[in-house]
A = this chain, B = another copy of it.
């Protein structure tokens, strides 16, 4: 998605060889018009999958997910993050380890909002090692929901989350794939290769 890549080039901050900050339009300040375009792009990529629901993770996944939900005409559920869940009745939940923060969080969705009749599009802001998405996939399995595919705003192509998910046969659509952050520069994967 060309406009997203330009935005990343112009406004993204390369903090280290593995950390890209996009607080200016995605993770702290949000550009609603960019989010609408992202939502429409996800819709065009998953239009024929019979999606009944979008699931994302608070907080940065919410804006792109809601715009995709508006465009696809389906509800959006955001999974909640917490340090630990003492009561897990009436919840689907999963442990998610963050390599960046070196801590585990639990994520959860109420059993009221996911069922075996749902065909779910998962959306998240970043895909790195895939732990958060794998946690969401685990909750869908608990609910018996079908997985239509995964929509990612920015994939770190130099980490293995994308490969893990695609090797399971899951359709992963990342709107920008960053292959390197070496020397303070963002290098994108070739557009053609990214849609394979």
Give A residues with C-beta under 8 Å from B.
23-25, 28-33, 35-36, 58-59, 62-63, 66-67, 69-70, 73-78, 80, 109-110, 112-113
Check B113–A70 contact: CB distance below 8 A: no
Residue contacts A-B, CB under 8 angstroms, 14 given:
A23-B110, A23-B112, A24-B113, A28-B77, A29-B77, A29-B112, A30-B62, A30-B78, A31-B75, A32-B70, A32-B75, A58-B58, A59-B80, A63-B63
**CA A80 to CA B33, docked complex, whole Å:** 22
Q: How many copies does the complex hold?
A: 2
CB-CB under 8 A from A75, the residues of chain B are: 25, 29-32
Instruction: Out of B28, B66, B110, name the residue touching A66 (CB < 8 Å).
Output: B66
- What is the CB-to-nearest-CB distance from A61 to chain B, in angstroms, rounded to a whole number? 10
Nearest chain B CB to A38 CB, angstrom units: 11
In the complex, which of the residues A30, A32, A62 has the most CB atoms of chain B within 10 Å of its own CB atom? A32
Contact at A32–B69, with CB atoms within 8 Å?
yes
Known contacts A62-B62, A62-B63, A66-B63, A76 near B113 by CB under 8 Å: no
How far is the CB of A164 from the nearest CB of chain B, in Å?
Answer: 27
What separation, in Å, do the CA atoms of A30 and B58 have in the docked complex? Answer: 12
Q: What is the bound-complex CA distance between A10 and B43, given in angstroms?
A: 29
Docked CA distance A24–B110 (Å): 10
**In the bound complex, what is the Cα–Cα distance between A59 and B66 (angstroms)?**
12
| In the complex, chain B residues whose CB is within 8 Å of the CB of A58 | 58-59
How long is the Cα–Cα vector from A35 to B29 in the complex, in angstroms?
19
| Residues of chain B within 8 A of A62, CB atoms compared | 30, 59, 62-63, 66
Q: Shortest beta-carbon distance, A161 to chain B, in Å?
A: 23
Residues of chain B with a CB closer than 8 A to A66's CB: 30, 32, 35, 62-63, 66-67
Measured CB to CB, the closest approach of chain B to A108, in angstroms, equals 10
